[in-house]
């Protein structure tokens, strides 16, 4: 007659916890990897103020004519891309399940000299932020979003640039990551970069 082997309770609990962690991680990876399509950022532009022209870089004025502040806009052009494009004779084509809905984005400013904000210290660049958007990429699309918050121009370090004209500026690279999912719920994201220079630029008047 065989006898059942008794394992130490702590060891059994450890096995169970380890199995749960691996299962969750694997499930996340499967969910993220099963999207048949991804996002390709074809263009990323910025516009100073609500009426500025869009261009491949942004000169952000920390004080508008008259002393007010305005947010600066970004514009992204993106398209769907198949992970498996198919063949020249039988290329992949999207169905409604492959459409990607973008729901939010994250902006972080990076200085060229590598300095970053540290907890408890004065910021060297504007604080990173998250923004909400909702648009669906069916094929090719262009969409606008907030690239520089108006509130950031009333906080350090941009507040210190007021009244200095071109004598002082902060040159950064903005890293923007867009997050979304296809219509089956599989997550996807895409990241782009644009130069953003902050200063109290001369007003037209």
Average confidence score pLDDT of the chain = 80
pLDDT for position 115: 75
Residue 25 pLDDT grade (very low, low, confident, very high; cuts 50, 70, 90): very low
pLDDT for position 152: 96
Q: Over the range 66-82, which residues count as b (16 or more CB within 10 Å of their CB) and which as e?
A: eeebbbbbbbbebbbee
Q: In what order do the strands lie in the sheet with 72-82?
A: 37-47, 72-82, 140-148
Residue closest to 33 by CA, chosen among 189, 188, 137: 188
Q: pLDDT for 158-177, tens place per residue?
A: 999 998 877 889 999 999 99
pLDDT for position 89: 61
Q: Which of 65-74, 84-93, 132-141 has the highest mean pLDDT?
A: 132-141
Residue 65 pLDDT grade (very low, low, confident, very high; cuts 50, 70, 90): confident
Residue closest to 56 by CA, chosen among 160, 164, 201, 173: 173
Residue 106 has pLDDT above 70, yes or no: yes
Predicted TM-score of the model (pTM): 0.77
Residue 117 to residue 123: CA distance in whole angstroms: 5
pLDDT for position 205: 52
Residue 31 pLDDT grade (very low, low, confident, very high; cuts 50, 70, 90): very low
Kind and range of the H or E run holding 27: helix 9-33
């Amino acid at each position: 007659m065989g006898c059942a082997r008794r394992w130490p309770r702590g060891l059994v609990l450890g096995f169970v916890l380890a199995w749960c962690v691996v299962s969750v991680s694997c499930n996340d990876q499967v969910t993220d990897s099963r999207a048949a399509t991804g996002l390709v950022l074809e263009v990323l532009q910025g516009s100073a103020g609500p009426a500025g022209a869009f261009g491949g870089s942004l000169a952000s004025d920390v004080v508008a004519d008259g002393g007010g502040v305005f947010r600066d806009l970004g514009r992204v052009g993106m398209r769907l891309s198949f992970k498996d494009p198919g063949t020249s004779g039988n290329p992949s084509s999207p169905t409604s399940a492959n459409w990607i809905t973008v729901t939010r984005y994250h902006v972080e400013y990076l200085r060229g000299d590598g300095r970053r904000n540290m907890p408890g210290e004065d910021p060297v660049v504007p604080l990173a932020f998250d923004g909400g958007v909702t648009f669906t990429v069916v094929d090719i699309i262009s969409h606008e979003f907030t690239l520089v918050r108006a509130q950031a121009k009333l906080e350090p370090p941009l507040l210190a640039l007021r009244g200095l004209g071109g004598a002082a500026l902060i040159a950064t690279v903005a890293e923007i990551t867009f997050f979304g999912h296809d219509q089956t719920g599989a997550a996807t994201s895409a990241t782009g970069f644009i130069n953003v220079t902050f200063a109290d630029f001369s007003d037209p008047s």
